[in-house]
Amino acid sequence: MSYFTELAHQYIDGEWKSGSGSWDIIDFNPYDGEKLASVTVATVDEVDQAYRAAERAQRDWAATNPYTRRLVFERALRIIQDREQEITEAIIAELGGTRLKAAFELHLAQEFLREAIQLALRPEGRILPSPVDGKENRVYRLPVGVVGVISPFNFPFLLSIKSVAPALALGNAVVLKPHQNTPVVGGGLVAKVFEEAGLPAGVLNVVITDIAEIGDALIEHPVPKVISFTGSDKVGRHVASVCAANFKHAVLELGGNSALIVLDDADLDYAVDAAVFSRFVHQGQVCMAANRVLVDRRVEREFTEKFVAKVRTLKVGDPSDPATHIGPLINSSQAEAIATLVEQTVEAGATALVRGTTEGNLVAPSVLTGLAADAPVLSQEIFGPVALVVPFDGEDEAVRIANDTPYGLSGAVHTGDVERGVRLAQRIETGMIHINDSTVHDEPIVAFGGEKRSGLGRLNGESMVEAFTTQKWISIQHGRSGFPF
């Protein structure tokens, strides 16, 4: 199958079709600039068609026995396993992911499908007591109906499936809009997997489009009751405000500015390995990436020397080469923004221990230190291969620096004393934090989400039930009630 020929289309009500907009999204390989596909954008009318199809199909899907529903996810899992090599090549081509990154993404996508198989049977009702004699209170868990999913470009296959699969497993229908830079891996491929797995027409729809064409139609539309968005905090803020104005629930997984903290009793060689992975995996285009590496001043020199030495060994180049660690950024705008950020930070007084060059969309790693306490780069998300090494004196200062950001997604603490690490981690304002490990983790049954500008709500495990179902109270009066008039 040529994914970029067959899947670069809208998928609405079980049909693959062209959009009817007046312009095309061009899908490029970010490494060599090859044109992969051209997709005519969906219009507001086609967004409406997708939501109406989902609305019609959802009723029968929700009424389907959950044991039958879960068979779809079992088949979807087998399809991905059978086509793992093909999907790997698509990830490399469309988003510049290295082979290591593609393997990581596919592994997690399969884990989330395994969880969706179980999730189909997870919702449970309750019978609650009443102060009224003869009253029976039943609380049912029901699907919300239709869910809108907006996925990002960095892990498009995984992060589409991460919301789509549980929403479907719980009896909802879905309209998915992938990022315009990854319309096939994040959209068409997901639809094709579920189509072949036997998902009924209309239960999952994919619209490839852009806000320039449809405005806020995807989130304002009256049909979806929940919008699951993964992306930047700037766009997330807008999604949240539109959802609130239209009485919709928003689940937002947004940006981060994670700190990996190295205490004075840490295993420095291990901490270096964790920090390099945490910062440079997928070129740093990861919301959980460790933008800031905070190091106790007593071990700063030794750690920094080892960290810099390891960063210099990272190979930058063709993501299809198994030896490559750093592939291209997603597009030229991202590459130019990272190069400018490094230049401005150095001009403001930072020291470049490693100064990466830029060639096309390939941006080599940079390691900066000696930053002023109020340097703007310390409080923002850096979606690229730039590490900031920041020394601290004692745990209180480490906590202050780690929390001095509007974000709070992930983090890590490295120490020889696990309970010391836990005590410190409890003081960090973040939704997730890991002791003696990397900052980049996602597991299907553990609540995933952030504090502050890093998002609203949680995903994974029981949090999926909270996100994609609603509760309905039905009371039954056995016998006759007495009324005051």
d(CA 9, CA 1): 15
pLDDT of residue 227: 98
pLDDT by 10s per residue, the chain, length 485: 489 999 999 999 999 999 999 999 999 999 999 999 999 999 999 999 999 999 999 999 999 999 999 999 999 999 999 999 999 999 999 999 999 999 999 999 999 999 999 999 988 899 999 999 999 999 999 999 999 999 999 999 999 999 999 999 999 999 999 999 999 999 999 999 999 999 999 999 999 999 999 999 999 999 999 999 999 999 999 999 999 999 999 999 999 999 999 999 999 999 999 999 999 999 999 999 999 999 999 999 999 999 999 999 999 999 999 999 999 999 999 999 999 999 999 999 999 999 999 999 999 999 999 999 999 999 999 999 999 999 999 999 999 999 999 999 999 999 999 999 999 999 999 999 999 999 999 999 999 999 999 999 999 999 999 999 999 999 999 999 989 99
pLDDT of residue 452: 97
Do 159 and 43 belong to one domain?
Answer: yes
Do 335 and 414 belong to one domain?
Answer: yes
Do 288 and 190 belong to one domain?
Answer: no
The CA-atom distances, in angstroms, between 13 and each of 61, 135, 175, 363, 471 are 13, 44, 10, 41, 28
d(CA 453, CA 381): 11
Q: How many beta carbons lie within 10 A of that of residue 56, not counting itself?
A: 14
| Domain-embedded: residue 234 | yes
Do 290 and 387 belong to one domain?
Answer: yes
Do 32 and 140 belong to one domain?
Answer: yes
Q: Which residues pair with 363 in a beta bridge?
A: 358
Is 359 exposed, middle or buried (CB count within 10 Å of its CB: 0-12, 13-18, 19+)? exposed
Structural domain including 348 reads 259-435
The CA-atom distances, in angstroms, between 442 and each of 92, 378, 477 are 21, 24, 46
pLDDT of residue 124: 86
End-to-end CA distance of the chain: 72
| Domain-embedded: residue 440 | no
Do 75 and 159 belong to one domain?
Answer: yes
Q: Which of 94, 287, 381, 395 is catalytic?
A: 287
| Domain-embedded: residue 482 | no
| Domain-embedded: residue 351 | yes
Do 10 and 145 belong to one domain?
Answer: yes
d(CA 117, CA 326): 34
Query: In terms of Cα–Cα distance, which of 391, 372, 365 is closest to 292?
Result: 391
Do 395 and 458 belong to one domain?
Answer: no
Structure tokens at 182: 């990854």
Do 173 and 220 belong to one domain?
Answer: yes
Do 217 and 83 belong to one domain?
Answer: yes
User: Is 243 noted as a catalytic residue in this protein?
Assistant: no
- Cβ 237 vs Cβ 406: under 8 Å: no
| Domain-embedded: residue 337 | yes
Count structural domains, the chain: 2
pLDDT of residue 2: 83
Backbone φ and ψ of 174, nearest 5°: -135, 140
| Domain-embedded: residue 87 | yes
- Cβ 178 vs Cβ 160: under 8 Å: yes
Do 148 and 265 belong to one domain?
Answer: no
Q: Which of 55, 94, 105, 253 is catalytic?
A: 253
Query: In terms of Cα–Cα distance, which of 159, 153, 182, 158 is closest to 26?
Result: 182
Do 381 and 334 belong to one domain?
Answer: yes
pLDDT digits (tens, 9 = 90+) for 342-356: 999 999 999 999 999
Q: How many beta carbons lie within 10 A of that of residue 85, not counting itself?
A: 10
pLDDT of residue 122: 86
User: Is 253 noted as a catalytic residue in this protein?
Assistant: yes
| Domain-embedded: residue 448 | no
Angle (nearest 5°) at CA 218 between 216 and 223: 125
Q: What is the pTM for the complete model shown?
A: 0.95
Query: In terms of Cα–Cα distance, which of 468, 466, 444, 448 is closest to 458?
Result: 448
| Domain-embedded: residue 480 | no
d(CA 447, CA 407): 17
CATH (domain of 360): 3.40.309.10
